[in-house]
Amino acid sequence: MFKSILLPVDLNQQGSWAKALPAAIELAQDFKAQLHLLSIVPDVGMSIVSQYLPKDFEKKAVGDAGAALQTFTNENVPAGLKAKSHVAHGVVRTEIVSSAEKLGCDLIVMAPHRPEVIDILISPKTNYVVEHFKGSVLVVRN
């Protein structure tokens, strides 16, 4: 049923992947699907902020995120599973949707919120993804 699955991963927030990663792996194995792990480096944004950072800050941050995500993928995804890691740069919610579309994903598996938000809520980021992605979205609750 699913051929390509996207899992957004915030390596600084275990809640973004602790329950969603096993679900994504199981679905990828069951459907023999490609699993894409995505980490997003937020855009620094306004020049008032970026002027205080080194000129190559975002480029270095993207490179560091890519290396960290590859290590995470190697350590947490079974060897026989087709998996690729990707890093995007920008607004998290829009990058999840646009990356899924660019990669041809038909399912996004994600956690509903940051760990500090109560379980009954779906964050604006998750809500945006559910509303704007044309494929299926599985929200894995803790």
Q: Round to whole Å and give the CA distance between 114 and 22.
A: 18
Residue 113 has what pLDDT? 63
Q: pTM here?
A: 0.87
Q: Within 13 Å, how many C-alpha atoms sit on residue 17's CB side?
A: 20
In this structure, the strands spanning 107-110 and 4-8 are: parallel
Residue 71 has what pLDDT? 97
Q: Render 50-68 in DSSP notation, one character per residue.
A: HTTS-TTHHHHHHHHHHHH
Q: Round to whole Å and give the CA distance between 124 and 104.
A: 24
Residue 80 has what pLDDT? 93
What length does the chain have?
A: 142
Domains of the chain: 4-139 (3.40.50.620)
Residue 120 has what pLDDT? 46
Give, for all 142 residues of the chain, the pLDDT tens digit.
Answer: 899 999 999 999 998 899 999 999 999 999 999 999 999 998 776 566 667 777 787 788 889 999 999 999 999 999 999 999 999 999 999 999 999 999 999 999 998 865 554 444 556 778 889 899 999 999 998 6
Which 8-state DSSP code applies to residue 89? E
Residue pointed to by tokens 């199981």: 26
The amino acid that residue 41 corresponds to is V
What backbone torsions phi and psi does residue 130 show, to the nearest 5 degrees?
-60, -40
Q: Round to whole Å and give the CA distance between 142 and 66.
A: 26
Which two three-digit tokens encode residue 7?
């899992």
